[in-house]
Amino acid sequence: QSALTQPASVSGSPGQSITISCTGTSSNVGYSVLVSWYQLHPGKAPKLMIYETNKRPSGVSNRFSGSKSGNTASLTISGLQAGDEADYYCCTFAAGRTYVFGTGTKVAVL
């Protein structure tokens, strides 16, 4: 399974909304509703932001939302804040009982 495709970077001003796409194939993103999203800050443990495509774990701000259409999943961050500046990765269960991650997106708050 090849890595899912994400934009290398996305930027926005404080208060704006941004959307990160995660494009796969019918063998991974299109195959499963089990898409999750992770936030990575340097030197910190990665944090789960979205699971099962659009569910938020307890403690994650409702500014983060997830969706999926066909072979593309998306993470939207609304009301962008300085603390949202991080790398974000999508992940999905794929045919062959394996998990595949996206290529990662660096979010910059201007």
Partner 1 sequence: QVQLLESGPGLVKPSGTLSLTCTVSGTSINNNHWSWIRQTAGEGLEWLGRIDSGGTTDYNPSLKSRVIMSIDTSESRFSLKLSSVTAADTAVYYCARFVTNAFDIWGQGTMVTVSS
Which residues of the chain form contacts with partner 1 (CB under 8 A)?
1, 3, 34, 36, 38, 40, 43-48, 51-52, 55, 57, 89, 91, 93, 96-104
As a whole number of angstroms, the distance between CA 2 and CA 101 comes to 9
Is residue 24 within 8 A of residue 68, CB to CB? The reply is no
Residue placing its CB nearer to partner 1 in the complex, 2 or 17: 2
Structure tokens at 29: 């993103």
Q: How far is the CB of 17 from partner 1 (least distance, A)?
A: 23
Residue placing its CB nearer to partner 1 in the complex, 16 or 48: 48
Q: How far is the CB of 61 from partner 1 (least distance, A)?
A: 16
Closest CA to 109 of 23, 12, 9: 12
Question: For every residue of 31-62, which 3-state class applies, written as one string?
Answer: HCCCEEEEEECCCCCCEEEEECCCECCCCCCC
Residue placing its CB nearer to partner 1 in the complex, 16 or 98: 98
Residue placing its CB nearer to partner 1 in the complex, 44 or 110: 44
Q: How far is the CB of 95 from partner 1 (least distance, A)?
A: 11
